[in-house]
Amino acid sequence: MATPTPTRQRRRGHDPESVLSIAVGVFNERGYDGTSMEDLARALGVTKSAIYYHVPGKEQLLARALDRALDGLSEMVADQRAASGPAIERLEWVVRQSVRILVDRLPYVTLLLRVRGNSHTEQAALERRREFDAFISRLVKEAAAEGSIRPDVDPALVTRLLFGTVNSIADWYQPSRGASSDDVADALLKMAFNGLRV
């Protein structure tokens, strides 16, 4: 045969992808700064030095993880559905998509939400995140200007409360509990848009 079956059973081991996904899990359990390469090695079932065969170092792991979260948000901002139609409907769509991204990429987004800017990598991620926050802020302001949001609350405050609620999902959401992204988004939108009171 000319082509050797490419997916032949190779010697089992890690690759950059499996290292990243396990590492992000540990980062979220113990915090990035609270995680040592020794911790990662233990979680991977190898020695510290083996990690460096797959990835360049600890900070690169963080950078790749943060990009996964930020790329999701960037795609959403670029979507046509975030650009046309009544602002209140676009806002609803953006909230729903944000919840979906948060749930789909839970460990990566969770990590992003905890970044404080201690390194260049973290500062760059915060910068990209700020662009997203500015986008949201404009959207809420438009919805308020169109008269779709109660006028007795400052739109800046609404933005922070609304997306504070979305982001807080990362602190408690567990896929194993059965609630889907849409279940959570439905509940959130009911509460924030129509209120909890009967």
Partner DNA sequence: TTGTCAACTGACTGAATGTTCGGTAAACAC
Partner DNA sequence: GTGTTTACCGAACATTCAGTCAGTTGACAA
Footprint on this chain of DNA (rule: CB under 7 A): 4, 8-11, 13-15, 35-38, 46-50, 52-54, 56-59
Report residue 84 CA to chain centroid gap.
24
Q: Does 154 bind its own copies (CB under 8 A)?
A: yes
DSSP letter string over 26-76? HHHHH-STT--HHHHHHHHTS-HHHHHHHSS-HHHHHHHHHHHHHHHHHHH
From DNA, its own copies, none, interface partner of 174 (C-beta below 5 to 8 A by class): none
Specify the residue, 27 or 108, whose C-beta has the smaller distance to DNA: 27
Specify the residue, 134 or 153, whose C-beta has the smaller distance to its own copies: 153
Give dist(CA 147, CA 127) in Å, integer: 31
From DNA, its own copies, none, interface partner of 78 (C-beta below 5 to 8 A by class): none
Specify the residue, 35 or 54, whose C-beta has the smaller distance to its own copies: 35
Smallest distance, Å, CB 58 to DNA? 4
Q: Out of 88, 101, 112, 139, which residue is the one contacting its own copies (CB under 8 A)? A: 88
From its own copies, DNA, none, interface partner of 49 (C-beta below 5 to 8 A by class): DNA
Q: Out of 172, 175, 181, 182, which residue is the one contacting its own copies (CB under 8 A)? A: 172
Q: 147 Cβ partners below 8 Å, 6+ apart?
A: none
> To which residue do tokens 């020794």 refer?
38
Q: Out of 13, 57, 147, 175, which residue is the one contacting its own copies (CB under 8 A)? A: 147
Q: 17 Cβ partners below 8 Å, 6+ apart?
A: none
Is residue 160 within a helix (H) or strand (E), and if so which, with residue range?
Answer: helix 155-168
Site string for its own copies, 173-192 (x = CB under 8 A): ------x---xx--xx-xxx
Q: What is the CA radius of gyration of the chain?
A: 20
Smallest distance, Å, CB 162 to DNA? 36
Sign of the Cα pseudo-torsion (81, 84, 89, 95, in order): positive
Site string for its own copies, 5-34 (x = CB under 8 A): ------------------------xxx-xx
Q: Output phi, psi for 11, to 5 deg.
A: -60, 120
